[in-house]
Each structure stands twice: as C-alpha cells, then as structure tokens.
Amino acid sequence: MKLIVVGASHGGTEAVQTAIEQYPDSTIVWYEQANFRQMMGWSVEKLVAYRKKLTAQGVTLVDETRVVRLLAATHQLVIQAKEPATPQTVAYDKLILSPGSQARQLTVTGATLPGIVSLRGKGDLMWLREQARQNAQLQRIVVVGAGYIGLGAAEIFAQAHKTVTLIDVNEQPLHGYLDAEIAAPIAQTLRNHGIKLAMGQRVQRLLGEQHVTAVETDTATYAADLVVVAIGAVPQTQWLADTLALTSNGSVVTDAYQRTNLTDVLAIGDATQVNDGPTQQRITIALAGNARQQARNAVANLQLPTTPLAPTNGTSALPVFEYKLATTGLSEQRAHRLNRPIVAVTWTQPVTMNTDATVTTKLCYDPNTFEILGAQLVSTVDVTANINLVSVAIQAHFTIQQLATADFFFQPVFSTPTSFLKATAIAAVKQANQYRPA
Ligand SMILES: Cc1cc2nc3c(=O)[nH]c(=O)nc-3n(C[C@H](O)[C@H](O)[C@H](O)COP(=O)(O)OP(=O)(O)OC[C@H]3O[C@@H](n4cnc5c(N)ncnc54)[C@H](O)[C@@H]3O)c2cc1C
C-alpha cells in the first residue's frame, strides 16, 4: 500500500507514526509545504537523524513541497516543490489529509499593513518572544483577540515591560472558554500586570502608511508599533474546494470514521469538524489532542470503517501569569446561546490541607437528567489535570450524583479530605435537591 499523508504538524505526525506501527510494510510519503526543520526548531543534525529513522521505517518526508491539487478519479496528487518549479503528479492508494488551518485575518481597512502579525505555531511564538526581548522599536503592542493565543501574546509582551492593549469584541477575556465570574480573576491579573483591557470593542480599521501606527475600534484609538491578530483560525482547504465536499466554513466534511466523500481519502485535524459531546453538534474545535485522536482513528479505518471517533468536549488548559485554568464541555454562556437547559454550581476551597491556595470549580449539569455537561476551574496551583476527569465523566454520561459518590483519595499533601471536584459535585447535588423535592 502506498499511503500519502499531507501536513506534518500534529495530525500528520500522529498519522505517520500510527501507520508505521499498523502498516509496517507500506510505503509512506509525507508532504509538508513548510521547512520542516524550521517548523520544529531543530538542528540540521537532528533532522538528518530523523529522516534516516523514517527512511528505515519506509517513510519519505518531503518538505518545502505544497500539494496543490487532488485528482480523485486517478488517485493522484499534484505537488509543487520549490525546485523543480514545474508541478509533478504522484499516485496514492490511500490518502490522509491534515492541512490544518491558518490564522483568521481582520478584513477591515489597513489589515494588510506591515507590522500586523498572527501566530500559527511554535515557530511564530518563538519569534514573538525574541521580538519582545530584543526589538527596542516595539514599545506599544496591541493584541486583537482575548482567547488563548491572544492572552499568550499579551503576556509575553507584558513580561517584557511593553505597553500592551488587549482588544476583544466580547465583554470578558476567554469568552469562548470561561463564564464571566470564572474569568474575573484572570481579567484582574491581566490588569495587575499592566495590560489594558479594551473589552466589548470591535476593530474598525488599522491606521498607518508604510507601517501600522494605531488600531481604531468603535470606542477608542490605540497607538501600536506591532499588532498581533489572534481572532481564530480558518481551514486551509481552498485547494480542495473543487474536489472534496466542504462545509460552508471550509471544513472538510468527514463521517465518524474520518472518511471524506471520496474513496480512499480521509481527513483529520483542524481542517475537519468533530462531534461536540454535550451538544452533539458538528463543530470545529482546533486542538492538538483532537487532531492526534482523529489521526489514530483514520489509520485504524484505512481499510475498513471499524473505529468511529468518540465525541469530544474541547478539553483545554492555559497558564495566565500566576493562574492556571482548565475547561471542558459546555459553559453556561454557550448553553444559553444554544438555548440548552443548564444549571451550574461554583465552589471554592483550599487545594490541599497544607496550603491556603484555593481552587474555584464551576460544574455545569443538565437540570432534568443531572448529567454533567461541563466544568471550569481556576487556581494559582496547577490542578488543571483534574479537568480530564470531568471530560471522562461527560463522555461516560456521569450524573452529578455519581461524581459526588465516586471513589477519590485523600492525602493531606495532595488534597483535602474531600477533594475539590467531589466537593463541587456534592454542592451540585445539594443544589439540585433544593429544586427537586425528595
Ligand atoms: C500559537 C498556538 C498555540 C497552540 N497551543 C495549543 C495547545 O497548547 N494545545 C492544543 O491542544 N492545541 C494548541 N494549538 C492548536 C493546535 O496547534 C492545532 O489544533 C493543531 O496543530 C492542529 O493540527 P493539524 O495537523 O490539524 O494542523 P496544523 O497544525 O495547522 O498543520 C497543518 C500542516 O499542514 C501543512 N499544509 C497545509 N496545507 C498543505 C498543502 N497543501 N501541502 C503541504 N502541506 C500543507 C501546513 O504547513 C502545516 O504544517 C495551538 C495553536 C497555536 C496557533
């Protein structure tokens, strides 16, 4: 079997690694449009050793080569390398596409001025850190978008003592992840670290002639030497539009087995959608964990559809200065937007017997079935891994009663006699009993 994998980030890498294990006799050709060594931040020696190992496993990594067309009828791809400049045609038996997404751009006047950047990965983050440390010309930084990536960028520049303004159309940072009261301490720490929050403002245009000089919103104008745009991502699938079924937002349409509408063509990662566990909607959740799980499933389904993708809860975590936050499943805000019944309880307690540091946990559940729908937690102590437990509970359709009576350990150095997650579930059960007579 000749397998071609397109894209060498999370999805592509996991697909290649899994295919090496499951199809050791196959020939795998792996295309990546970027320079792989630069993408990974590797030395020349490390790349040489990696290529050698891949070759021994039947894999050829072809980087700086863009796949420009899919010729489904003949099971072929058209590829465009830097050298030779003429496109070439290559054949596949099976094809796994993981072309991912690119940063969404502003569409207002001035959006293409020099000095406006967006981030697409590790290399870009490294560049940003270097700019913050070494580029004295950059004093006034405006970050547009207060999601995970925007907050990360704002923190990098605030730590370098730059003047940072964070703009978002929503009234709070991390609107897509946290409810307002859970995000409140995060907003406060951003302010405490000198970041000006310009929430509830929409960017109207970017000003400047040779270079961006300011960002104008519907409320105010902010001077800028550098503008970081972090307003989400869009699937990198334009080149597939003439052959593959795409959703209206450009995601490749796949079934539960990662199969596209074309025989022998599977797609994974940010370029596709997943089933959202709590709502059962098909949505885009751009996370590396999803891309990697889809990759393992795609390889398992290469010959026969045996392994459907389980629903996902968008489980994620982020450090923001001294805080560590994590979230999974539905927030109250999103449930209200979807008109879905939801009840929530919020509980704050010390993390362990040996510290005053607290953790605040919000648990969301269905008021009729008591099934757990989501959770958010925030603390100065790293308790983020607990969110994985709630994600599993959502996947297993656990109720608050089941979580409240689950078997959790107590060890004074690591926990309180009643762990914060269990305590939150107990509070939820008490709350539920109040509106549901016994
Ligand atoms: C700054 C930043 C930080 C992040 N941090 C986290 C995190 O902490 N945790 C987490 O879960 N997620 C994180 N993410 C999201 C995560 O990076 C993505 O969900 C994940 O990389 C998706 O993997 P993918 O393989 O689907 O696509 P991508 O990572 O987008 O990779 C697609 C690859 O395909 C290549 N490609 C595209 N089209 C072609 C073509 N036609 N020919 C050849 N090659 C092509 C691209 O060059 C790219 O290398 C972060 C994202 C960003 C931008």
Residue nearest (by alpha carbon) to ligand 1 atom 26:
269
Return the HEC string of 296-320.
Answer: HHHHHCCCCCCCCCCCECCCEEEEE
Q: How far is the CA of 12 from the centre of ligand 1 (A)?
A: 9
pLDDT in tens, 11-69: 999 999 999 999 999 999 999 999 999 988 899 999 999 999 999 999 999 999 999 99
Mean pLDDT of the chain: 96
Q: How far is the CA of 7 from the centre of ligand 1 (A)?
A: 9
What CA–CA distance (Å, rounded) separates 248 from 303?
29
pLDDT of residue 438: 52
Say if ligand 1 is within 6 A of residue 193 CB.
Answer: no
Measuring from atom 29 of ligand 1, which residue has the nearest CA? 9
Helices (H), 301-412: 332-337, 386-395, 400-404
- Which residue has a Cα nearest atom 15 of ligand 1? 287
Residue 121: pLDDT above 90? no
Question: Is residue 209 pLDDT above 70, yes or no?
Answer: yes
The number of beta carbons lying within 10 Å of the beta carbon of residue 428 is 25
Which amino acid residue places its CA nearest to atom 33 of ligand 1? 7
pLDDT at 423: 98
pLDDT higher than threshold 90 for residue 437: no
What is the per-residue pLDDT across 258-306, written as a single tens digit (0 to 9) for each? Answer: 999 999 999 999 999 999 999 999 999 999 999 999 999 999 999 999 9
Between CA 276 and CA 305 the distance in angstroms is 21
Regarding the beta carbon of 294 and ligand 1, being less than 6 Å apart is answered no
Domains plus CATH for the chain? 2-102+234-301 (3.50.50.60), 116-231 (3.50.50.60), 316-434 (3.30.390.30)
The best mutation among 287, 290, 320, 325 to test binding of ligand 1, ranked by most ligand atoms within 8 Å of the C-beta, falls on 287
CA of 30 to the centre of ligand 1 (A): 15
Measure the CA–CA gap between 90 and 67, rounded to whole angstroms. Answer: 10
Q: What's the pLDDT band for 436 if we cut at 50, 70, 90? A: low
130: burial class by Cβ within 10 Å (0-12, 13-18, 19+)? Answer: exposed
Name the pTM for this structure: 0.94
pLDDT of residue 179: 98
State the distance from the centre of ligand 1 to the C-alpha of 120, rounded, in angstroms: 7
Kindly give, in sequence order, each residue whose CB lies less than 8 Å from that of residue 45, ignoring residues fewer than 6 positions away: none
- CB of 236 shorter than 6 A to ligand 1: yes
Tell me, using a 6 A CB cutoff, whether residue 66 lines ligand 1. yes
32 CB within 6 A, ligand 1: yes
Interatomic CA distance for residues 335 and 342, integer angstroms: 7
CA distances (Å), origin 385, targets 25, 133, 349, 376, 390: 38, 31, 17, 12, 10
Rounded CA-CA distance 227/157 in Å is 11
CB 23, CB 1: distance < 8 Å: yes
Q: Is the dihedral of CA 15, 17, 21, 23 positive or negative?
A: positive
Among 25-29, 160-164, 430-434, the least confident range: 430-434
